[in-house]
């Protein structure tokens, strides 16, 4: 069981990385990756929210939607639940852990509409994970997301200083860079567990 | 799908929605934090560009500092007198007018006048250029002109012209972001209505400076000797003006043999910049 969990973590972080092989969460990946510090802040917020939302959406699905045979409503229900959770966490942190609230800052509410968080919840159902597997999968997927966005922010700092042809300046060179980074991650693709 | 399923789905979501809404409503009461409404009001009054000129992380951080009494009501340099007045009103204190500052690049050595030691073809960034033997200009205190200050400016007030950064005084808010960004430390904040400034920061002896640049300060002290109010002093082989003493008499501009003392004079409220003829 422990081995299985470790394999699940390894595969979620590297092999089936949310950004580079599932293409989820591309919007924050491009939007908040201009500085390593903000990228790390975003990554921490995602880890936090994704772990909790994986747990709660699993419980909602198993104990509410399945008994009422309303599984086909999972997407709507999850969007709704995730938005509520993020709201709740924000209020909770603001009251009891202001330092963490300040560190996460604007990124916490931004995650409400992050497709990676919803993706993790839906993939848990699709793969038939139980509760512990769901939380582990949510957590390690978010770690993979953080890894990708921090590496990419580091690369972008260097790219910003380079002098590319004018037609490549800005977003084009960023996308080319992201493609090359995704290629590097695809080196893990051959491994399967 | 029969009608029962639809009603069931409707009811289930209505119940979930009601429960979640109720919980959030309770949570917002339980976790309520009493914030000072003046923070919000001060934040509204500040420019909101988060330039960091006040030394705080952004306008919100400054607003909190002002309300807690940590910072003064006129701490925002970018907003100027109008913002200081608005913030003072909210805080209920006397308005202390902020002295409007502007950034000034203390270098006159455009490509035409300054000499290069090599041809630089690296990243267009002053920090990178400085690592390559202190930049391509021979003068160790000259503007590198790769535009690190241009990137730092939130107000588009600075641009590089002919190898030297030039500040647009009307757009400049005096926040000081460029001052911090310059690896040569040659951007200074000076009072907005300063009559003159010395366009050189070369701290080498005159003979040495002559080799670098046609428009460098050679520390001849003519300005110092001719200044009636004692406002201009040559220290470390470069002239510098004490703005509290300057009476805008134009004497220094006339006598400077290198023509690097520049004039900017106030006419009513507008600053008109009169550039001297470039030196020989």
β-partners of residue B161 are B164
Q: What is the CATH number of the domain that holds B64?
A: 1.10.15.40
Structure tokens at A31: 């939007």
Number of folded domains that form chain A: 1
Q: Are residues B226 and B190 in the same domain?
A: yes
**A4 in a structural domain:** no
- Closest CB from A70, A76, A161 relative to B125: A161
Q: What band does A142 get if pLDDT is binned at 50, 70 and 90?
A: very high
Number of folded domains that form chain B: 3
Q: What's the pLDDT tens digit per position in A155-164?
A: 998 888 888 8
Judge: A81–B20 Cβ closer than 8 Å, yes or no. yes
Q: Are residues B85 and B105 in the same domain?
A: no
In whole angstroms, give the CA distance from residue B51 to residue A37. 18
In whole angstroms, give the CA distance from residue B211 to residue B235. 20
0.80 cut: is pTM over it?
A: no
**Contact (Cβ atoms closer than 8 angstroms) between residue B76 and residue B47:** yes
- Please enumerate residues of A whose Cβ is less than 8 A from a Cβ of B: 64, 68-70, 73, 76-77, 80-81, 84, 87-88, 91-92, 94-96, 161-163
**B280 in a structural domain:** no
Residue that wins the pLDDT comparison between B275 and A181: A181
Residues 124-153 of B with CB under 8 A from A: 124-125, 128
Longest dimension (CA), chain B: 101
Judge: B17–A80 Cβ closer than 8 Å, yes or no. yes
- For B265, the 3-state DSSP assignment is strand
Structure tokens at A169: 């300046």
The count of residues in chain B is 280
Cα of first residue to Cα of last residue in chain A, in angstroms, is 14
Contacts of A73 in chain B (CB under 8 A): 9, 13
**A119 in a structural domain:** yes
Contacts of A170 in chain B (CB under 8 A): none
| Strand extents, DSSP E, chain B | 101-105, 158-161, 164-167, 187-191, 196-198, 232-235, 238-241, 261-267, 270-274
pLDDT at residue number B278: 43
Judge: B24–A84 Cβ closer than 8 Å, yes or no. yes
In whole angstroms, give the CA distance from residue A121 to residue A83. 13
Q: What's the pLDDT tens digit per position in A122-140?
A: 999 999 899 999 999 999 9
Structure tokens at A41: 């802040």
Q: What is the CATH number of the domain that holds B130?
A: 3.30.70.20
pLDDT at residue number A180: 92
Query: Of A107, A11, A97, which is closest to residue A50 (Cα–Cα)?
Result: A107
The answer on pLDDT for A89 being more than 50 is yes
Contacts of B64 in chain A (CB under 8 A): none
pLDDT at residue number B273: 52
Q: How many of the other CB atoms lie within 10 Å of CB of A106? A: 11
pLDDT at residue number A176: 92
Per-residue pLDDT of chain B (280 residues; tens, 9 = 90+): 688 888 888 898 899 899 999 998 998 888 877 777 888 888 888 888 777 777 777 788 888 888 888 888 878 877 777 888 888 888 877 766 567 788 888 988 888 888 888 988 888 889 889 988 888 899 999 999 998 999 888 888 888 888 889 888 888 888 888 998 899 999 988 888 787 888 888 888 888 888 888 888 888 888 989 888 888 988 888 888 888 888 888 888 888 888 888 877 554 444 545 444 443 3
Judge: B16–A77 Cβ closer than 8 Å, yes or no. yes
In whole angstroms, give the CA distance from residue B87 to residue B82. 9
Q: Are residues B65 and B193 in the same domain?
A: no
ipTM: 0.70
pLDDT at residue number B277: 45
Q: What's CA A59's distance to the chain center, in Å?
A: 20
pLDDT at residue number B97: 59
Judge: B12–A70 Cβ closer than 8 Å, yes or no. yes
Distance from CA of B14 to the nearest CA of A (A): 11
Q: Are residues B26 and B42 in the same domain?
A: no
- Domain range for B194 is 101-274
pLDDT at residue number A45: 83
Judge: B27–A76 Cβ closer than 8 Å, yes or no. no
β-partners of residue A28 are none
Count of CB contacts below 8 A, A vs B? 48
- Closest CB from A84, A94, A163 relative to B33: A94
**B279 in a structural domain:** no
Burial of A183 (0-12, 13-18, 19+ CB in 10 A): exposed
Q: Are residues B265 and B173 in the same domain?
A: yes
Q: Is the CB of B244 inside 8 Å of chain A's CB atoms?
A: no
Residue in chain B lying closest to A80 (CA): B17
Contacts of B16 in chain A (CB under 8 A): 64, 77, 80-81
Q: Is the CB of B33 inside 8 Å of chain A's CB atoms?
A: yes
- Domain range for A144 is 22-186
Q: Are residues B50 and B175 in the same domain?
A: no
β-partners of residue B266 are B271
Q: Are residues B49 and B180 in the same domain?
A: no
pLDDT at residue number B60: 82
């Amino acid at each position: 069981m422990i081995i299985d969990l470790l394999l699940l973590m390894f595969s979620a972080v590297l092999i089936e990385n949310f950004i580079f092989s599932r293409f989820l969460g591309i919007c924050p990946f491009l939007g908040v990756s201009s500085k390593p510090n903000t990228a790390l802040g975003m990554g921490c917020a995602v880890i936090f929210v994704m772990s909790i939302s994986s747990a709660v959406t699993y419980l909602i699905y198993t104990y509410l939607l399945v008994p009422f045979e309303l599984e086909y409503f999972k997407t709507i229900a999850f969007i709704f639940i995730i938005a509520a959770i993020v709201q709740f966490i924000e209020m909770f942190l603001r009251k009891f852990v202001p330092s963490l609230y300040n560190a996460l800052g604007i990124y916490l509410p931004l995650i409400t509409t992050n497709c990676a968080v919803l993706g993790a919840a839906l993939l848990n159902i699709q793969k038939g994970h139980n509760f512990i597997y769901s939380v582990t999968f949510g957590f390690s997927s978010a770690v993979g997301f953080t890894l990708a966005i921090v590496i990419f922010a580091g690369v972008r700092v260097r790219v910003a200083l380079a002098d590319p042809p004018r037609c490549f300046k800005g977003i084009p060179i960023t996308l080319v860079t992201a493609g090359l980074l995704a290629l590097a991650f695809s080196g893990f693709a051959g491994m399967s567990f | 799908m029969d009608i029962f399923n639809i009603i069931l789905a409707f009811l289930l979501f209505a119940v979930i929605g009601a429960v979640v809404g109720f919980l959030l409503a309770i949570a917002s009461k339980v976790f309520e934090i009493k914030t000072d409404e003046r923070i919000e009001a001060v934040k509204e009054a500040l420019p909101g560009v988060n330039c960091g000129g006040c030394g705080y992380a952004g306008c919100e951080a400054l607003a909190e500092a002002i309300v807690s009494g940590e910072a003064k009501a006129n701490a925002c340099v970018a907003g100027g007198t109008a913002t200081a007045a608005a913030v003072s009103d909210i805080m209920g204190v006397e308005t202390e007018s902020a002295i409007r500052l502007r950034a000034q690049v203390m270098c006159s050595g455009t490509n035409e006048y300054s000499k290069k030691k090599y041809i630089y073809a690296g990243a267009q960034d002053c920090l990178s250029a400085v690592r390559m033997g202190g930049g391509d200009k021979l003068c160790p205190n000259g503007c590198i002109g790769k535009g690190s200050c241009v990137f730092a400016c939130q107000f588009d007030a600075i641009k590089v012209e002919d190898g030297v950064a030039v500040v647009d005084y009307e757009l400049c808010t005096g926040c000081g972001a460029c001052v911090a960004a310059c690896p040569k430390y040659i951007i200074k904040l000076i009072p907005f209505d300063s009559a003159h400034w010395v366009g050189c920061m070369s701290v080498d002896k005159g003979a040495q400076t002559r080799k670098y640049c046609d428009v460098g300060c050679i520390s001849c002290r003519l300005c110092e000797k001719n200044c009636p109010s004692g406002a201009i002093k040559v220290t470390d082989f470069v002239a510098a003006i004490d703005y509290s003493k300057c009476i805008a008499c134009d004497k220094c501009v006339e006598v400077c043999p290198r023509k690097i003392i520049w004039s900017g004079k106030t006419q009513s409220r507008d600053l008109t910049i009169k550039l001297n003829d470039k030196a020989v």
